[in-house]
Amino acid sequence: MNGKKSTPVSDIAKCDSMRTTDVADSGSDDTGSGLSGPDKPGTYNAGSEDVGREDSGQRDPVSDDIVSGNSGAGDSGTDHPGLANQGASSHPRAVRSFVKRDGRITRGQQAALDTLWPVYGIEYHRETLDFSTLFGRKAPCILEIGFGNGDALCEIAQREPHHNFVGVEVHRPGIGHLLMRIGQHELHNVRISDHDAVEFLANMIAPASLERVNIWFPDPWPKKRHHKRRLIQLPFLQLLAASMRFGAVLHLATDWQPYAQYMLDVLHKTPYFENTSSGRDLEHACVARPDSRPLTKFERRGHRKGHGVWDFMFKRNDIPV
């Protein structure tokens, strides 16, 4: 896949089933919403139209634990510097930050998956991507992990045509919806991975190659016994740091205050990032939502209900990994 070109898209954008309203009910049963469901405190998902970020999974009727689905995992071994001196147990791949459930895929989404995935999709291999070959040009690259239905990613890709964007999402309805949007807007600066983000980073992203990393509204996994599934942990931040150039920005956002405090505490423990805000407590450590993160209808809905949102912007310092 490393040599995929920016191929024009025409017929797929004209298909009747490709209209944006085709996803209006793509997840109406809430089976794929990263921040909804009985255990999720949030009521909206800034990056998803109920087609899912990191899913809450299914309950084991005996243990009440999460039963993991097929995440498309590959070999977790890697020579990436972000995993040096950690050992496999530091971020065990048997424990994932998501559970993959595809949910309902509309005709438009399936048509986009069939037609546009071969052009814009990144097949997982344990070999480093060459962004210049992947996009057919040299440009700074931004990674978004857990893009939901891709509306936000599509919007910022249109706003910032001088950047290349790689989105990572495991839920097929969301991937299909983003591919629909790519076809409609004829975007050539977006590529998509459907693989586990940790393994994708470790095995396919070159060291010091990312300009910015966006992780917006990841699953907070609120129950204490599920905290091990949270994406934001020290080994993962080390892996991110190794993939980011010095001066690159890590942008995190959450709508759940306990998870905001948790993320801030973890970020303060890592030596590789510095807060762009001068405060250390939660109230002063976050920043106002920047223009680079689009405001979605789910966030507006949360604002109307009095829910807060916490944005953090941390800069990669020059401490080597």
Phi-psi region of 291 (alpha: psi -120 to 50; beta: other; left: phi over 0): alpha
- DSSP classification of residue 287: B
Active-site hit among 219, 265, 281, 291: 219
Distance of CA 84 to the CA centre of its chain: 24
Tokens matching residue 269: 């423990």
How far lies 162's CA from each of 74, 141, 142, 254, in Å? 32, 9, 11, 27
Query: How far is residue 171's CA from residue 227's CA, in Å, rounded to a whole number?
Result: 21
- Torsion angle of alpha carbons 115, 117, 120, 124, nearest 10°? -160
**Beta-carbon contacts of residue 114 (< 8 Å; ≥ 6 apart):** none
Burial category of 239 from C-beta neighbours within 10 Å (exposed 0-12, middle 13-18, buried 19 and up): buried
The verdict on whether 102 is a catalytic residue reads no
Which residues does the annotation mark as catalytic? 219
